[in-house]
Structure 1
């Protein structure tokens, strides 16, 4: 999408694209009952569809991010200061932190439109795990935001991928991967760009529906190239970490954020298609972005490994 378009023109183009996308994909999606229970960072994880107020990412609307905390008492955490995510990140303070070991087997690639994110749930019983020191977290889903939610050293990326994990006690850890657009013809057909392209193409236009691609994928393909040893799965030695919250209602706190400072590359068409899907979310009325505005870091400290 050209940066020379005005915001109004950009919305109009993306709204038209979203309408075309809805028509093209009308036969593909399969209805789903709700977002994956206990897995989604959307409000559907906290309450049933009938009790969840309408909300959007559009800061100009009365149901936008600045108003989430007032839409229902259950979302009061969204109004917190100094405990919310995302935040602006710098280099962080170097600390003695453990390596991350991610083991993500191939699972069926099913793509959901939750009405707020494009999400890839992991099947019940899937064995994808992230080990952080003595704690093992299970991968429950991953989803994408366009543009990025976190800002690193003053740069907002074209996309941010959130791999959402839970441990046996229900604690949440989110591994965040930042992505920028590659030069035309400069990204590989497989790997990260390939998986994200497949996901974007399969993303249903209608909220509350899913597409089963009939293929399999590993979330390990979302990690930057060069991480990993064959016997250990993906081994991540460089990351930033801090304590924060979910970035969508109910904005639950106590989330361990792990942000990889090495970005991955994605095709421009993938990013544009995801913006078009977002523009078609219920109530977004052509607004093409689904990133929450930056929150104050407050007294929290960002730590760095590597």
Structure 2
């Protein structure tokens, strides 16, 4: 066999290996009992060790029994959003919305956190009163110092979600295209996601995916929205293998203080 044929065969073997790796290898996933499931995240990479050793991990089960009731919601958290053009992206492990311009911010304890992106988990990651719900939206914000604040909105299966209905054709257009993107026009985060901040849980936690960094200020809205079975299925079907149910199990509270903020009655 001459050298050119050998090089060509070697090239084909490497190409085949690379394509297989792209299709099957994931650094982490959610299939229980397999090599990279959530119970093993801490051993996959040294920098992910905190996924197993951390004491402020997320998500958690939120109940009034574990929470300290306070009446300062309007002082604790304020939102300043504005409508700007948004892009939907299929990241393989979730559907993400990002804003091409400054979409505004939240102010938590007098610190500004700029809105970066939003994405969905199905089923929900946080439990509410011991129940795992159908879906959870995470609105990810970052401060100038790099600290994170995430607002979580929970959904039960029921009536269609108005916002997902609005962008369903965009979801369908990139459902089979990992890395695919679609412009979805101007989005005002507060109006489109229709959440109510008169009552919410707040606690200090972590990213719910590796590296599980414990530098997240979590706000979970108490009022639960609805999403239809068709919408859930379409968002889930768009994910690649290992991410069909992209929700980390609930983590230990480890003595953390959880606040249930309720707007004071006038």
| Corresponding residue of 2:80 | 103
Q: Distance in 2 between matches of 1:162 and 1:199?
A: 19
What secondary structure is seen at the aligned counterpart in 1 of 2:47? helix
User: Normalising by the residue count of structure 2, what TM-score does the alignment of the two structures yield?
Assistant: 0.80
Runs of 4+ in 1 over 3 A off after TM superposition: 192-204
Offset from partner CA, 1:136-187 (integer Å, 9 cap, x none): 110000000000000000121100000000111111000000011224xxx5
| Corresponding residue of 2:52 | 79
Q: Distance in 2 between matches of 1:172 and 1:81?
A: 17
Q: 1:210-225, aligned counterparts within 5 Å?
A: 210-213=181-184, 215-220=185-190, 221-224=192-195
User: Normalising by the residue count of structure 1, what TM-score does the alignment of the two structures yield?
Assistant: 0.70
Larger radius of gyration: 2
Offset from partner CA, 1:233-262 (integer Å, 9 cap, x none): xxx221101110000111111210000010
CA contact (8 A) 2:125 2:249 kept: yes
CA contact (8 A) 2:54 2:214 kept: no
What secondary structure is seen at the aligned counterpart in 1 of 2:224? strand
CA contact (8 A) 1:239 1:260 kept: yes
The structure in which a higher percent of residues are helix is 2
CA contact (8 A) 2:175 2:237 kept: no
What secondary structure is seen at the aligned counterpart in 2 of 1:67? helix
Question: Aligned in 2, Cα 1:69/1:200: closer, same or farther, shift over 3 Å?
Answer: same
Q: Distance in 1 between matches of 2:34 and 2:228?
A: 30
| Corresponding residue of 1:10 | none
What secondary structure is seen at the aligned counterpart in 2 of 1:205? coil
Offset from partner CA, 1:93-129 (integer Å, 9 cap, x none): 1125442222222222311122221111122x41321
Q: 1:78-227, aligned counterparts within 5 Å?
A: 78-91=51-64, 92-99=67-74, 100-123=77-100, 125-183=101-159, 187=160, 190=162, 192-195=163-166, 197=168, 200-213=171-184, 215-220=185-190, 221-224=192-195, 227=196
Structure 2, unpaired ranges of 5+: 1-21
Structure 1, unpaired ranges of 5+: 1-48, 228-235
Between the two proteins, the alignment pairs up a number of residues equal to 234
